[in-house]
Amino acid sequence: MQEIMNNRLTRYALIAVLVLLSLFLLVKTIDVFDELGRSNSPMMNTITVQGQGSAAAVPDVARVTYTIMETDANIATAQERATAKNDQALEALSELEIEEEDIRTLSYNVSPQYRGCVMGRPCTPTISGYQVSQTIEVKIRATDMASEVLGKLGELGVQNINGPEFTLDDPAEVQGQAREEAIEKARAEAERLAKQLGVRLGKVVSYYDNNQPPMPYGYGGSMMEGDMSMKAMNAPTLPVGQNEYTANVSITYEIK
């Protein structure tokens, strides 16, 4: 009799264990299906917004470029003439208190010049001489001196004067102000969307910054020797104005 009772208790215990195991497996199965219905990818639970900001500042430097060009049948003679004219320009810039570190050569070229052929007649082009050209960039830290620099270069018969380009020597601070405004606008837009969607903003998932440089304001094209030289002109009036820097950002937020 006792053995029969023990067998029954063992059977009941086994049944209880099987029932508990079945319930455990059922709960786990439900959890698995529930997880399948939700994406683990943060990109499925995010919103992306854009923001644009701007900031303006008065330029503190002006950049001017000029090119010395001399042509001669002999390369050495052309180089000598170009060097002499550029030395005069550099001396004039020094007298205007332009520092040496603010003057740099952008290019130096020696190219052959060919004698043309008459159209319709057989001809082999021949070299008639050589042109030497040197392009210099000048950074003018006192922007009100830009007009005087242009006038002095024109008096020396310097060709191809371009500029000035008024800009900031270090635009990082102004760019930072524009970026800060862009980020604030993007976050405000994200909060507005989150409220409309009935969700909460989480951490920033991604950030993209597309800074745009200011549009340059140039003094004009080039000025050549002869009638177009500033030798016969007064130094131009050059309003400096302001440069506006724009920042565009794209921010992706996790939503909860």
In one letter, which amino acid is 74?
Answer: N
Same domain, yes or no: 24 and 149: no
Domain contains 217: no
Domain contains 255: no
Q: What is the pLDDT of residues 86-126, one digit of tens each?
A: 999 999 999 999 999 999 999 999 999 888 776 667 777 78
Q: 107: Cβ–Cβ under 8 A, 6 or more apart, which residues?
A: 133, 134, 135
pLDDT score at 34: 55
pLDDT score at 3: 55
Same domain, yes or no: 14 and 74: no
Q: What is the pLDDT of residues 26-63, one digit of tens each?
A: 656 665 555 554 445 444 689 999 999 999 999 999 99
pLDDT score at 28: 61
Q: Which residue has the higher pLDDT, 53 or 211?
A: 53
Domain contains 90: yes
Q: Which residue has the higher pLDDT, 225 or 180?
A: 180
Q: How confident is the model at residue 228 (pLDDT cuts 50, 70, 90)?
A: very low
Q: pTM higher than 0.75 for the full model?
A: no
pLDDT score at 49: 94
pLDDT score at 71: 93
Q: What is the pLDDT of residues 176-201, one digit of tens each?
A: 999 999 999 999 999 999 999 999 99
Q: Which residue range forms the structural domain that includes residue 82?
A: 61-171+223-238
pLDDT score at 25: 64
pLDDT score at 39: 47
In this structure, of 96-105, 122-131, 229-238, the range with the lowest mean pLDDT score is 229-238
Mean pLDDT of the chain: 80
Domain contains 13: yes
Q: Which residue has the higher pLDDT, 75 or 33?
A: 75
Highest mean pLDDT among 14-18, 20-24, 81-85: 81-85
Same domain, yes or no: 72 and 17: no
Task: Give the SS3 label for residue 61.
Answer: strand
Rg (CA), the chain: 38
pLDDT score at 157: 84
Domain contains 199: no
Give the count of domains, the chain: 2
From residue 144, alpha-carbon distances to 59, 120, 172 in Å are: 11, 55, 23
pLDDT score at 160: 86
**CA nearest to 131, candidates 102, 160, 163, 89:** 160
Does the pLDDT value for residue 221 go beyond 60? no
Same domain, yes or no: 74 and 121: yes
Q: What's the CATH code of the domain at 89?
A: 3.30.70.2970
pLDDT score at 126: 83
Cβ–Cβ < 8 Å for 86, 134: yes
Domain contains 122: yes
Domain contains 10: yes
Same domain, yes or no: 66 and 159: yes
Work out the percent of the chain whose per-residue pLDDT is above 70.
71
Does the pLDDT value for residue 230 go beyond 90? no
b/e for 203-225, b at 16 or more Cβ within 10 A? eebeeeeeeeebeebebeeebee
Same domain, yes or no: 24 and 120: no
Same domain, yes or no: 10 and 132: no
Domain contains 176: no
